[in-house]
Structure 1
Amino acid sequence: MDFTTIASLVVIGLIAGFLSGTMGIGGSVVMIPLLVLWLSFTQHEAQGTSLAVLSIPVTLLAAFNYYKEGYVNLKFAVIIAITFIIGGYLGSKFAISINQLLLKRIFGIVLLIVAARMIFSKP
């Protein structure tokens, strides 16, 4: 691993961490596109690496800050976390079984749909 790669990984981590702390995004919205565009990862490699980063409690301190201010619904978070494990397992099995180009297109469409809904939704 050369210096440029390490520097890119550090920048990706800082950007993803900062955006995770400020807006609750980081993994799929930031890390995956940057790994693909900056480091030429395949879509599968980028998604797998992003999941590996998030598999340890990297957002624990950020979540704790929100919790201290009363912005965390623990009951909802536990239900989502448990079902997220199941959905993540099933989704990863599906993702690794399909063509990378199709996976990349599905990923891009999902980002566009979410972005459009966020931009054009009523408050």
Structure 2
Amino acid sequence: MTLLLIAIGLAAGVLSGVFGLGGGIIIVPALIYLVKMTPQQAAGTSLAALVIPVGAAVGAVNYYRAGQLHIRDAVLIALGMGVGAFGGSWLATNIDGDILRKAFAVLMVVMAVKLWVG
């Protein structure tokens, strides 16, 4: 189990470094399907892992050095994420896990179509 969790983190780290994603798109589904967590447990575990800023900070250094990081914007997004994560976590822990899983699937499909179509 330890190696599986490290592998999930490694995959999320690589994809986060390349595409700027990881938690919701990689970690949550991996925890649900590979580790057999409920959607709520997966979301909570993913959020807790993202609180530890080491991985993101190390990756962001390369973008900063290349002049591809807007620090002010990142701080403002982080502030919004803090408020949003609090409200979203309250909502997620108060609805049925099956509804949450299906809503997440719909979100991923919508985002995939949007990216594909442009």
TM class by shorter chain equals: over 0.9
Equivalences, count: 117
Which letter does structure 2 place at the counterpart of 1:35? L
1:9 match: 5
Q: Give the superposition deviation at 1:40.
A: 0.7
TM-score normalised by structure 1 residue count: 0.91
Which letter does structure 1 place at the counterpart of 2:59? A
1:65 match: 62
1:20 matched to 2:16 = yes
Structure 2, gaps ≥5 residues long: none
Structure 1, gaps ≥5 residues long: none
Equivalent-residue separation in structure 1 for 2:17 and 2:67 (angstroms): 15
Identity between Structure 1 and Structure 2 (%): 35
Which letter does structure 2 place at the counterpart of 1:11? A
Residue 118 (structure 1) aligned to one of 111, 115, 118: 115
1:89 matched to 2:86 = yes
1:107 match: 104
Equivalent-residue separation in structure 1 for 2:58 and 2:3 (angstroms): 24
Root mean square deviation, CA, Å: 0.8
Q: Give the superposition deviation at 1:45.
A: 0.6
1:49 match: 45
Q: Give the superposition deviation at 1:105.
A: 0.7
Q: Give the superposition deviation at 1:98.
A: 0.4
The structure number with the bigger radius of gyration is: 1
Equivalent-residue separation in structure 1 for 2:56 and 2:72 (angstroms): 18
TM-score normalised by structure 2 residue count: 0.95
Equivalent-residue separation in structure 2 for 1:89 and 1:67 (angstroms): 28
SS at match of 1:97: coil
- Runs of 4+ deviating beyond 6 Å: none
1:36 match: 32
